[in-house]
Structure 1
C-alpha cells in the first residue's frame, strides 16, 4: 500500500501530469493483483477526500486514475464509488468526474467509452453515475455530461428516461 500511496503522491506533486507515473502504476497493477487492489483503495480514498486537494494536484491524481482505467490496469467497478447527483457532489468532485471522463474519452475514444459503459454486467457499477432512481438525478447526470462535451455517453440514460 505504501508503494501505491508514494507513487500517487509523487504524481500529484508534479507541475503537470507526467504519463510516466501512470505507466508505473499500470505496470505495478499488471505485475501483482495486490497492487491493483491497493490502487482501488487509493481511488476510493482520493475521491472521498478530493475536496482537500488544490486544483493542480486534483488534475494529476485524476489523470493518473484515468490512465489506469483506460488501460484496464484498474477494474471499472471502482466507478461505483462515484455518485453523480447535485447533493452528493462538490465542485471538486465534479471537476474530478469531468477530467476523468474527458481523459477516458480522449484515451479510448467516445465510441469505445460508450461500449464500456454499456456492458450489461457492469451496469450496477455505473448506476450511481448514470442514475435512474429519480428523474431529478437523471436530468442532472445528463446535463452534467452534456455540459462537459460528453453528452453522447448519456444516450442509454436518455432512452431509459423516455420509457
Structure 2
C-alpha cells in the first residue's frame, strides 16, 4: 500500500469513528457526500479516486448510511465521465472491502430498494441497460442480476 492509500485509509478510519460517535458528524459526512458527488467533475483523477475510496470505506463499515446513494442517478443523461469514474472506483472498492457477496446482499436488501432505485433504474429499458452495462464493464455485473431479469421480463411482455 502506497503512502497516499495509507493516508486515505487513516482518514476513512477517522471519519468512521466520527460518524459512529455522533449523529451530527454523520450528517455532516452525508452532506459532504452529496456535495462531493455534485462537484466530482471538478476534481482531477487522483483526487476523484481518493474521495471515492474514502466514501467507500465509510459506507463499507456502515458508518455512513447507504441512503446517501439515493443522490446518485446512474443514467447516461445524469452522469458525466467523472461521475462514472467516481462510481466505478466507489463500487469496486466496496466490493473489495466488503466482498462481492456482502455487497450484493446490501444492494438487494428489500428495505433499501427505494434507496438504490436511481442506481438500478426500472423506469425505462434504456436506463436499465445503461446501469447493467456500467456494472458489467467494471467487473460487477453480478449485482445487476435482478435488474437483468426484470429487463428480460419486460421485453417478453412487450413482444
Name the TM-score, length of structure 2 as normaliser: 0.92
Deviations 1:16-54 (A, max 9, x none): 452000000000001111100100000000000000011
Q: Which residue of 1 aligns with 2:145?
A: 155
Q: Which residue of 1 aligns with 2:89?
A: 99
Q: Which residue of 2 aligns with 1:20?
A: 10
Question: Given the alignment, which residue of 23, 41, 47 partners 1:33?
Answer: 23
Stretches (4+) displaced over 3 A:
14-17
Query: Which runs of 5 or more structure 1 residues have no equivalent in the other structure?
Result: 1-13
Query: Which runs of 5 or more structure 2 residues have no equivalent in the other structure?
Result: 154-159
Question: Given the alignment, which residue of 78, 93, 112 partners 1:122?
Answer: 112
Give the deviation of 1:15 after TM superposition.
4.5
Matched positions, count: 150
Name the TM-score, length of structure 1 as normaliser: 0.89
**In the alignment, does 2:42 pair up with 1:43?**
no
| Aligned-pair Cα RMSD in Å | 1.1
Please say which of residues 15-24 and 52-61 is displaced more in the overlay.
15-24
